[in-house]
Structure 1
Amino acid sequence: MKHSRCAHRIRCRLLAKPRLGVIHTTNLNYHDSQENIIPIFLVSVSFSALASTVSDSIPYGQQELQAAFGYQDTRDSYTGAQSSVKAEEIDKWKGSSLESAIRGKLSGWYNGVIRGQSSPFATDALLVLDGIPMPFISLADLDPTTVAEVTILKDAAAKALYGPQGAQGVVLVTTKKGKNNSMNVSVSANVGIEKATRNPDMLNAYGQALLRNAALTNDGLVPKFTASQLNAFKDGTGTDNDWRDMYMDDMLFQKYNVQVGAGSEKVRFYINVGFARESGRYKATYDDKYNPADYTNRFTVVSNLDVDITSWMRAFANTNIGVRRVNASYLGGTEIYKLLYTTPNWVEDGVLPDGSVITNEGYPNPLQGAINYSGVNQMTRTDLAANIGFDLKLDFITKGLSFKGIFGYSSIYNGIRGGIHDYGRVVYNDNTQSYVPWGSNVETPLSWAKGTTTNYYMDIQAMFNYHRIFAEDHSVDALVHYTSEDYRGDAGKWYNYAFILPTNRIQLAGEAKYGFKNRYFLQFDFNYSGSEMMAEGHQFHFSPTVSASWVPSEESWFKNDYVTYLKLRASYGGLYYDSLRDQDSRYLYDNIYRASVGGISGIYSGYGVLNMRRGNLGIGWEKSKQQNYGFDLGLSDKFYLNFDYWRTNQEGILLQSELTPTLGGVTAENRPFINSGKVFNNGIDLGLTYSTVLPCGLGITANGQMGWNKNHWVSADELSYADAGYAYPYRKTGYSIGQQWGYLVDGSNGSIFYNSQEEIDNSGLRYTGKQPRPGDLKFKDLNSDGIIDEGDYAPLAGVYDMPRIEYGASVQLDYKGFDLYLDFIGEGDRSVLLNKSVGVAEFVDGLTTEGVYMPVHQSAWTPERYAEGKHIGFPALSSSASSSLQSNSFYVSKLDYLRLRNATIGYSLPEKLISRMGMSKLRFYVSGQNLLTWDNMEFEGLDPEVTQIYTKVYRSFNFGLNINF
């Protein structure tokens, strides 16, 4: 169990050090690589490498895999399901986020979610950093340069020991360590510029004004612009501000790291000091009062120390510190990007001598003022993760017995300092031919306000581990682990009153494994956990897991030169999950009361008591019954395949049941929670590795991974609308989590639009809510009642929370000093509803004032286009939320895509040449990230990973130099 093996012998490895090498693990539209590409230069200089690779001489079955609590198992003896990526692959991503670095590298990893959704609340995988859970720190907060390995634990056998926090998956992150008898120093400097993969073409002022007039005319309103104004826009004498060109900026990225790793026979240490800076996005004018520029500075320090105090005692201390400083205009970078795309080109820009900012009526946040004169927001966040502990070999009690104790602590401190500044606005008055004040805003002094949030987590672990071989053929492993947790938070989802109080958990976990002849393994795990978030009598639970594996390739009758490795695995466990932290209170078993204004009229007019959500004393844990069946296959020692089929039945999901009566003044949103929901989730994980060297000397290493998942509600405790005549009586039961609903567009008579008022009148249909106009979409009357209403809602194909498919592939070619690396990722079988997306819908309530008009809207329905038989690609425009902008299938777009995330070509000078200069390696390379994307988006301008044109995915080019001494 907790051991490693060399060749065919099993030996105890209590204090196993993680190796830092790599275990070789739709119709699409092409977007031209010239689109928005700009060269970016990155320089990287490194002195010696800290990572070491797994020796090819180690047989595949004896290679070590990360297991729970910092231990390692060999592949032969590991009965669970996991995927790993090591430093060599992680370092190829030239960004600052570990979350981005591992995309497409782990089968079953759906960009933060392991094996899809089994519950609407159970999506967060447990992050464990150097053995300590991290409830506040995320993968995006960790510097990938410091990481030796990332492993995800996927099935019950792999993650059972972590209890309720790990029930939905565990992410193990191991940072780099110093090595025995070595001294390694590495320095890297990366500088680059990033540009968005998609910057859609925007119409000029003339095109926008034409479409604005058309939208108003369609709604029976007076056009905004006169013929003379339109002519001015057309001939260039009118205002035409291209806000993206004026204020959008390329992002400058810088990253610097210094790493030192060293060790003797008794002491080993590793230190990494890093600094990263991102700046740009929008162009700001510096002011004497404050700096409104957009930038993020990030400083990280990782320090790991291991000391062999005696031959039987080891002590260790690990520290991970991050300090992040964010500076932005008071409105924030996201809001400014929204303004860049939602402010029409006809809005004026400029500043008068008295400091007043020029704008147009209806636009209280002109870009010039929003960026430079609204104030500044400064945020400083400090993350700390640290642990200290010791290992004891207790062979003097009985051979193979050991003990480990760890104390872990993590915290975040977030300080926000906001400086508010206001300014006067002016608009041009045609009558006076001058600028006049508009609105009530005036110049004000800069006013500062401060706020802080803090979170902490403490973890105490104590564990006994036992490993013993009897009569050469029998191996026995056992583990008993105790954990006590205490944490408190007042930020994000933790800000709720109840979460200000400390949260406590305790758990006792154990594992026992028997192995016979290094080919048959049977394992039992259990977890007994308790939490004070439940009412008395429901605070503890016991969850058992059983698993087994068989390695047929170790049988004498199996031996052959073609199938060089075969292992079969199976596991089943009943894990429990505590999802209460995602709710409005930590104590769902208790009633919630809040103070409210008012009281009994004529007697008391101060504060009263508001009776809010009702409690349920029987509230408990969600139970997750998980099965996994898999195999590992090796062919000719060159090709390896890992396959898993898994099933999860999630029961007792927290719901506010629609079947609970709303009595006694309790509204629907204040119904008590009950454990009544059920979801079935299943899928496949697949990993492939191929490695060979051809006779010509060409080395090839290829890796691929794929995950497929599908979930559906078995029971959602919801009302049936069959008696009300709904075409689909349920909105959850039988459908995937997050399934969205809407009307289906009706094109049965050859057109999906109503082309005249007469056609609307003759349809025989009555509409509730928004009434259709000529040019609006036609919807199907699915229940044949003559009324278009919610009874006709249908599930929109593919529009749910999780992609069904996520995949990645990479190939490395090496030939006579040259190397080429290509890395791809993709998603499939998911769609998105874009009827409320800027860049698709011409009007989005709450985001746009007078609409956002794109090239696609030039093909919108008009009587003239219809009469002339021209192509019509969009409904009639509207100045408000028209009938066509209701949720419907017209605005559904597939999100399937394939992206070339990384392409690198390099050359290493011959060793004989550089050895004279004291170098072991001198390599030059050019690389690019997010270079090409193939997708089938229905609407231009959107990247498949975002749903608004003002949200960006960035592309970069890099030039690099590596020097190892």
Structure 2
Amino acid sequence: MQTRHKIFAVFISLQSLAFAHAYAQQLPDSSRSLRDSSRLPVAYGLQPAWQITSAQSHISGDQLRPSSAATLSNALYGRLPGLTVLQGSGEPGYDVPGLAIRGLASYRNTDILTFVDGFESPFDQLTADEIDKITVLKDAAATAMYGMRGANGVLLVTTKRGMAGKPKITFGAQTGWQSPTRLPEFLDSYNYATLYNEARRNDGQPERYSAADLEAYRSQSDPYFHPDVNWYDEVLKKSAPMSNYQLNVSGGNDNARFFVLLNVLKNTGLYKNTDRKREENSNANFLRYNFRSNVDINVTKRLSASLDLAGRVEDRTYPGTGAGNIWDNMMLIPPNAFPVKNPDGSYGGASIYRNNPVGLVLAKGVASTHDRNMQATMRLKYDLDQVTKGLAISGAISFNNWFRGNDDKQKDFAVYQLLRGTSGDTIYNKFGDNTTASVNDGQNNQWRRTNTLFNLTYDRSFGKSDINALLQYQQDVYTISGNNVPFAHQGAGGRITYSYSRKYIAELTFGYNGSENFPKGKRFGFFPALSAGWILSREAFLQSAGWIDFLKLRASYGLAGNDQVGGRRFPYQQYYYGGNGYYFGTDNHYAGGMDEGSLGNPNVTWEKARKANIGVEGNFFRNRLNFVLDVFHERRTDILAERSSSIPGYIGVGLPSENIGIVNNKGLEVSLGFEENNAKGIGYFINASASYAHNKIEYMAEAQRPFAYLNRTGQSIGQPFGLQAIGFFKDEAEIAASPRQTFAPVKPGDIKYKDQNGDGIIDIYDEVAIGKPSIAAWTFGLHTGIRFKGLSLEAFFQGATGRSVMLQGPLVWAFVNDAKAAPLALGRWTPETAATATYPRLTTTANDNNYRASDFWQRNGNFLRLRNVELGYTLPAKVSKIVSLQQTYLYVNAVNLFTIDAVKLTDPEVLIGYPVMKSVNIGIRVQM
């Protein structure tokens, strides 16, 4: 099955290439090119860069290539001002991060829209080599045409297209090795047992480990009954390979152009000793095949067409249990709990630790998913110059289908606890059973999306006046497996741009569209936006300043919407659910009942975002220096909230969701760049950017609280709350003289909290806003490089400030739920270390006082990371021509090479689970 898909992908791509090349040879060179390289992507089209008055950022696929990211969105950290990338898991094939544009403006759904070549589609598994540009649309003027779907921002991806000229063949090959940026560290068996004994003494209990036990742990002389296991070392390899190969061909003439790409990526996980044939077990593996064929044809002088075919084959395999289970147990199980394997080769285990991490990787079988995605888009454009010059009509239809099947062969395994018999013999105490593999082979999930789009455009100049107009109709139907009612959007939009003397620009943009998720008669809304620009550099009073090449002021104000309001689908309907029933008759026949759900809201509507933006951009000193500055403000209203927390429950029914929430969001973005090239072949550049976004909840219908500092209203979205730690109790006298802490009985060495309301009691009413949300307020990017003849070196740094992270669970809480202990516990409080202690007293019992949300466990989450660095060399042209190549580029690069942060004991972006990966790669790129 997999082989057929791969052959089909190659066949489609080669057929498209042959068709386009043949057509290009037949038609005369009379029709103009469909592409204008001086134009930048905007909503549903292209626009001259000088004419754009909205807030947006751009980056090319070529700029992203050095990132070597398997998932494209992981290449965007700090690259586009206003776009925040939220690091996800590092597991191969499941490392897609979250994305936010200009921070958060809603406490409900904040997902952004992503479009590929004009139609909504995921983009994470595209490759940098098939990307022409990625564009972030940020203000109302940029997103108004998306109507009720544009409030959270839009990310546009445009893929490469062929250019007129001799066919160009480019081949690239890269291989590398990846390893975790940072793994948590824990104490060895000797230190663990020593501290455990101390914790038992603190609890008034006898010590568990004797002096002989401690010596056996220290000397590691008894690996079966006194093991010292570092589970990370036992489960994980030091590094894992990753490879990437791509071939693309492009060319044509003014009549037909083509771009064809084939790409193969293989990303391997970190698990040791796994079966390469994947019969008994499997490493985490991700294998992806991408193919794309974009063909543009001028059928006649006025009629042009394009056909885009793109698809992916994605195969993921991993151990028979989820990565979360493996990594949780590596973090939880103490080093002395049991050996990896017993003397007879069976897996070690214990009554309270029945998940041997090595067994979870090697003895749970194999799980796999197989994804197939195919997207086809057909466009036609007809110039109506015979009606009036500059008028054109176009239409497009796009089909996007995705299917995931699974092929699992999962099983279970027994663990054995070693015990000493009375006669000194070894007893094997069994837990669980060894089972044969159960096979599960079938459909996992699928979706399909059908889009239609019709445009009427007008582009004309009259003397000093330029008019650019677009009227558009769009329909989107999205069907998910298992959902009988498709998600549907329909609407129209338009944009008219007028400029005078290429100095003064005014633009009106609007969207009128609707969603099936709202009541009939209330499904459509109108979303207008106005923007204006003033190109000062064309004014006479500035043209005399020879150092100003381009300077533009712009401003916008408008309305956008968000129909992803969260909660249940069709919130205007009344729902009923199966509930308790009754027994009737002499035979006690049972009749099931129905429960009334929360009330429906017949007036429910979408969120509304009123956005204002002021920007300035310019180029100076013969375009060597450039900068962009934007300041924005957004007021988001009609956010769904339930009054159930503010209205008594005795009314007897669940209250509906209502459009009553309000959030304000404001910030700025700035980028500055400088580039210099001299006659000696030396060039260098530096580009810096910074983004700031701060939101505030104005209203969310929260419950009335006895003290104002408890309110989430007035705080930022995601603001953490907890107790404020003010040290450790030093003795019983201090405990007696302090406010009573109600969470658990306290002893000397326990954390002491501040009484916020002065009532003499420490309880949940003393929780205050602590630290910052986990999403950074400030994000930074710094891209710099130098070139000397064929040699080049470039580096990209990304940082974030204004964020906090909360450490909790086995990562830092020693002995909780029989977990291990981190090196932090070495700083524990004792009567002798009371003045210097950095960790509370040790205990083996559940301590609801010490281990709860407080600023004691919170850390500064700011970081600076070297995201990419690449050293490359382009061979002299005469050397490349020896083997009939136009250009040969050799390089070595590194990803996530180092991080500076205050968290230290784990990665500041991913605290637990499959870690963020760093890699070192070597590669070659040739052009024929």
TM-score (structure 2 length as normaliser): 0.90
Give the Cα–Cα distance (whole angstroms) in 1 for the partners of residues 440 and 200 of structure 2. Answer: 43
Q: Which residue of 1 aligns with 2:178?
A: 194
Secondary structure at 2:63's aligned position in 1?
helix
Give the Cα–Cα distance (whole angstroms) in 2 for the partners of residues 623 and 586 of structure 1. Answer: 19
Give the Cα–Cα distance (whole angstroms) in 1 for the partners of residues 379 and 526 of structure 2. Answer: 28
Secondary structure at 1:76's aligned position in 2?
helix
Q: Which residue of 2 aligns with 1:26?
A: none
Q: Which residue of 2 aligns with 1:952?
A: 915
Q: State whether residues 280 and 362 of structure 2, in contact with CA within 8 Å, keep that contact through their aligned partners in structure 1.
A: no
Deviation of 1:549 after TM superposition, in Å, equals 0.5
Q: Which residue of 2 aligns with 1:577?
A: 562
RMSD: 2.2
Deviation of 1:518 after TM superposition, in Å, equals 0.9
Pick from 550, 569, 580 the counterpart of residue 534 of structure 2. 550
Deviation of 1:811 after TM superposition, in Å, equals 1.1
The count of residues paired between Structure 1 and Structure 2 equals 871
Query: Which sits farther off after the overlay, 695-704 or 808-817?
Result: 695-704
Q: Which residue of 2 aligns with 1:402?
A: 392
Deviation of 1:203 after TM superposition, in Å, equals 1.8
- The answer as to 2:53 corresponding to 1:79 is yes
1:443-522 superposed matches below 5 A: 443-450=434-441, 451-470=443-462, 472-490=463-481, 499-522=483-506
Pick from 22, 41, 53 the counterpart of residue 66 of structure 1. 41
Give the Cα–Cα distance (whole angstroms) in 2 for the partners of residues 910 and 536 of structure 1. Answer: 67
- The answer as to 2:733 corresponding to 1:743 is no
Pick from 650, 654, 665 the counterpart of residue 636 of structure 2. 650
Deviation of 1:644 after TM superposition, in Å, equals 0.5
Q: State whether residues 550 and 568 of structure 1, in contact with CA within 8 Å, keep that contact through their aligned partners in structure 2.
A: yes
For the structure 1 residues 617 and 436, does the alpha-carbon distance in structure 2 shift closer, same or farther, using more than 3 Å as the test?
A: farther
Q: Which residue of 1 aligns with 2:336?
A: 346
Deviation of 1:360 after TM superposition, in Å, equals 2.2
Give the Cα–Cα distance (whole angstroms) in 1 for the partners of residues 494 and 892 of structure 2. Answer: 50
Q: Which residue of 2 aligns with 1:130?
A: 117
1:629-778 superposed matches below 5 A: 629-636=614-621, 637-657=623-643, 658-666=645-653, 670-694=654-678, 696-721=680-705, 724=706, 726=707, 728-730=709-711, 732-746=712-726, 752-763=727-738, 765-778=739-752
For the structure 1 residues 957 and 578, does the alpha-carbon distance in structure 2 shift closer, same or farther, using more than 3 Å as the test?
A: same
For the structure 1 residues 125 and 350, does the alpha-carbon distance in structure 2 shift closer, same or farther, using more than 3 Å as the test?
A: closer
Q: State whether residues 687 and 705 of structure 1, in contact with CA within 8 Å, keep that contact through their aligned partners in structure 2.
A: yes
Q: Which residue of 2 aligns with 1:44?
A: none
Q: State whether residues 205 and 239 of structure 1, in contact with CA within 8 Å, keep that contact through their aligned partners in structure 2.
A: yes
Secondary structure at 2:626's aligned position in 1?
strand
Secondary structure at 2:66's aligned position in 1?
coil
TM-score (structure 1 length as normaliser): 0.87
Q: State whether residues 727 and 794 of structure 1, in contact with CA within 8 Å, keep that contact through their aligned partners in structure 2.
A: no
Give the Cα–Cα distance (whole angstroms) in 1 for the partners of residues 236 and 415 of structure 2. Answer: 22
Deviation of 1:697 after TM superposition, in Å, equals 4.0
For the structure 1 residues 272 and 288, does the alpha-carbon distance in structure 2 shift closer, same or farther, using more than 3 Å as the test?
A: closer
For the structure 1 residues 694 and 219, does the alpha-carbon distance in structure 2 shift closer, same or farther, using more than 3 Å as the test?
A: farther
- The answer as to 2:910 corresponding to 1:892 is no
Deviation of 1:570 after TM superposition, in Å, equals 0.5
Pick from 588, 592, 598 the counterpart of residue 571 of structure 2. 588
Q: State whether residues 728 and 791 of structure 1, in contact with CA within 8 Å, keep that contact through their aligned partners in structure 2.
A: no
Give the Cα–Cα distance (whole angstroms) in 1 for the partners of residues 774 and 231 of structure 2. Answer: 33
Offset from partner CA, 1:540-595 (integer Å, 9 cap, x none): 11111111111011112220212222101010011121013x32x21111122222
Secondary structure at 1:863's aligned position in 2?
coil
- The answer as to 2:846 corresponding to 1:878 is no
1:422-441 superposed matches below 5 A: 422-431=412-421, 433-434=424-425, 436=427, 438=429, 441=432
Q: Which residue of 1 aligns with 2:305?
A: 315
Q: Which residue of 1 aligns with 2:813?
A: 841
Give the Cα–Cα distance (whole angstroms) in 2 for the partners of residues 222 and 674 of structure 1. Answer: 58
Offset from partner CA, 1:696-740 (integer Å, 9 cap, x none): 54212221221101000011122332xx3x36141x211000111
Specify every segment of 5 or more residues in structure 2 that has no aligned partner in the other structure, as ranges. Answer: 1-30, 86-98
Q: Which residue of 2 aligns with 1:243?
A: 231
- The answer as to 2:887 corresponding to 1:921 is yes
Deviation of 1:692 after TM superposition, in Å, equals 1.5
Give the Cα–Cα distance (whole angstroms) in 2 for the partners of residues 593 and 501 of structure 1. Answer: 18
Secondary structure at 1:341's aligned position in 2?
helix
Give the Cα–Cα distance (whole angstroms) in 2 for the partners of residues 481 and 511 of structure 1. Answer: 9
Query: Which sits farther off after the overlay, 399-408 or 265-274?
Result: 265-274
Q: Which residue of 2 aligns with 1:797?
A: 771
Give the Cα–Cα distance (whole angstroms) in 1 for the partners of residues 385 and 32 of structure 2. Answer: 11
Secondary structure at 2:67's aligned position in 1?
coil
Q: Which residue of 2 aligns with 1:6?
A: none
Deviation of 1:831 after TM superposition, in Å, equals 0.8
Deviation of 1:410 after TM superposition, in Å, equals 1.8
Deviation of 1:500 after TM superposition, in Å, equals 4.1
Deviation of 1:878 after TM superposition, in Å, equals 3.1
Matched to 1:906, the amino acid is G
Q: State whether residues 775 and 803 of structure 2, in contact with CA within 8 Å, keep that contact through their aligned partners in structure 1.
A: yes
Offset from partner CA, 1:791-838 (integer Å, 9 cap, x none): 11110121x2421011111112112322111111111111112234x4
Give the Cα–Cα distance (whole angstroms) in 1 for the partners of residues 927 and 298 of structure 2. Answer: 29
Offset from partner CA, 1:582-629 (integer Å, 9 cap, x none): 32x211111222224644587653533233332111111110000000
- The answer as to 2:905 corresponding to 1:963 is no
Matched to 1:591, the amino acid is Q
1:813-828 superposed matches below 5 A: 813-828=786-801
Q: Which residue of 1 aligns with 2:163?
A: 179
Give the Cα–Cα distance (whole angstroms) in 2 for the partners of residues 758 and 888 of structure 1. Answer: 24
Fraction of identical pairs, as percent: 28
1:344-383 superposed matches below 5 A: 344-351=334-341, 356-383=346-373
Deviation of 1:116 after TM superposition, in Å, equals 0.6
For the structure 1 residues 600 and 355, does the alpha-carbon distance in structure 2 shift closer, same or farther, using more than 3 Å as the test?
A: farther
Deviation of 1:513 after TM superposition, in Å, equals 1.8
Give the Cα–Cα distance (whole angstroms) in 2 for the partners of residues 213 and 458 of structure 1. Answer: 65
Offset from partner CA, 1:514-537 (integer Å, 9 cap, x none): 211111111111111111211123
Q: State whether residues 55 and 137 of structure 2, in contact with CA within 8 Å, keep that contact through their aligned partners in structure 1.
A: yes
For the structure 1 residues 97 and 830, does the alpha-carbon distance in structure 2 shift closer, same or farther, using more than 3 Å as the test?
A: same
Specify every segment of 5 or more residues in structure 1 that has no aligned partner in the other structure, as ranges. Answer: 1-12, 20-62, 747-751
Q: State whether residues 519 and 603 of structure 2, in contact with CA within 8 Å, keep that contact through their aligned partners in structure 1.
A: yes
Q: State whether residues 697 and 816 of structure 1, in contact with CA within 8 Å, keep that contact through their aligned partners in structure 2.
A: yes
Q: State whether residues 15 and 391 of structure 1, in contact with CA within 8 Å, keep that contact through their aligned partners in structure 2.
A: no
Deviation of 1:87 after TM superposition, in Å, equals 2.4
Q: State whether residues 313 and 370 of structure 2, in contact with CA within 8 Å, keep that contact through their aligned partners in structure 1.
A: yes
- The answer as to 2:895 corresponding to 1:905 is no
Give the Cα–Cα distance (whole angstroms) in 2 for the partners of residues 812 and 803 of structure 1. Answer: 27
Secondary structure at 2:47's aligned position in 1?
strand
Pick from 816, 826, 833 the counterpart of residue 858 of structure 1. 826
Deviation of 1:16 after TM superposition, in Å, equals 4.6
Deviation of 1:73 after TM superposition, in Å, equals 1.6
For the structure 1 residues 671 and 876, does the alpha-carbon distance in structure 2 shift closer, same or farther, using more than 3 Å as the test?
A: farther
Q: State whether residues 96 and 144 of structure 1, in contact with CA within 8 Å, keep that contact through their aligned partners in structure 2.
A: no
Q: State whether residues 578 and 592 of structure 2, in contact with CA within 8 Å, keep that contact through their aligned partners in structure 1.
A: yes
